[in-house]
Amino acid sequence: MMKLDFLKQKKIIIYLLIIITVLAIDILFIIKPQILTIKKISPEINKLSADLKAFEEDKKNLNQLKASFEILNKKSIGLDKRIIQEDELLTLVEKISKIGREEDVKIIQISPIEDPKAKKISGYSKGDIYPVMINIYIHSGYHQLGRFINKLENLDQFLKVLFIDIKFDKQLYTTQVVHLTLGAFIVK
């Protein structure tokens, strides 16, 4: 009787071992690799699907995208001129002198100053932008000065009056002594 029970128990243990082995093989070599593959490709599928959806959307709006590029491109050509190249600074100074002559403004002294402490402005694709100053000493009439500054403010290149000091001369009523500091931007 004891022997019979022992044999039965042995049989059950063998069955259990077979079941566990089959389960282990199944989990390790079939289910696990499938789950891992699903886990791996699911984000790729999501990304590809999203990319394709975006592509379809972009393709639909391609003409619109091209049009907005053209508009931006034209706008940026105009805006790019506001920031001058480093080697164009002297040309700008020359231009200011020419405008001075045209507006009957006597420029006594004009000099660009590059501030060594000036902080560069990043985030522009063509290089770093640096602020520069142009110091001008002038003898001119009030209205001539107004017209001169108006022309400077309306140049393609950006010029900003940072400082202006007008001394109204007691002797020469129509001529003022002016110290003008302009600000501009150069790209390096």
Partner 1 sequence: MIDINLLPEKLKKKNINAEFNKDFYYNVIIALVIILAFIHLLIGSTFIFKKIKFRNLKSIVPKIEQDLKEISDLKNRVKLLQADTSKILDITKDRMEVAFALNRLSMDLSNGIWFRHLKLDETEFELEGSVVSLKEDEMSLLNKFLTSLKNEKNIKVSDKLELADAKKRNFQGIDIIDFILRVKIK
Among 115, 161, 174, 188, binds partner 1 (CB under 8 A): 161
| Closer to partner 1 by Cβ: residue 160 or 188 | 160
Indicate whether 134 belongs to the interface with partner 1 (CB under 8 A): no
**Helices assigned H by DSSP within the chain:** 2-26, 32-60, 62-80, 89-102, 142-153
Which are the contacts of 136, defined by CB distance < 8 A and separation ≥ 6? 96, 107, 109, 110, 178, 179, 180, 181, 182
Q: Are 100 and 114 in contact (CB under 8 A)?
A: no
In angstroms, give the least distance from the CB of 108 to partner 1. 18
Name the strand (E) or helix (H) holding 140. strand 129-140
User: What residues between 74 and 103 interact with partner 1 by CB under 8 A?
Assistant: 75-76, 79-80, 82-83
| Closer to partner 1 by Cβ: residue 40 or 101 | 40
Q: Positive or negative CA dihedral for 97, 99, 100, 102?
A: positive
In angstroms, give the least distance from the CB of 25 to partner 1. 12
| Closer to partner 1 by Cβ: residue 37 or 91 | 37
In angstroms, give the least distance from the CB of 63 to partner 1. 11
- The first and second tokens of residue 53, run together, are 């959806």
In angstroms, give the least distance from the CB of 79 to partner 1. 5
Which are the contacts of 108, defined by CB distance < 8 A and separation ≥ 6? 137, 138, 139
Number of residues counted as binding partner 1 (CB under 8 A): 60
Binding mask 41-70 for partner 1 (x = CB under 8 A): xx-xx--xx--x--x--xx--x--xx-xx-
User: Which of 84, 82, 183 minimizes the C-alpha distance to 134?
Assistant: 183
| Closer to partner 1 by Cβ: residue 7 or 79 | 79
159 burial level (CB within 10 Å; 0-12, 13-18, 19+): buried
Interface with partner 1 (CB under 8 A)? 1, 12, 19, 23, 26, 30-31, 34-35, 37-38, 41-42, 44-45, 48-49, 52, 55, 58-59, 62, 65-66, 68-69, 72-73, 75-76, 79-80, 82-83, 121, 123-126, 129, 142-143, 145-147, 149-150, 152-153, 158, 160-168, 185
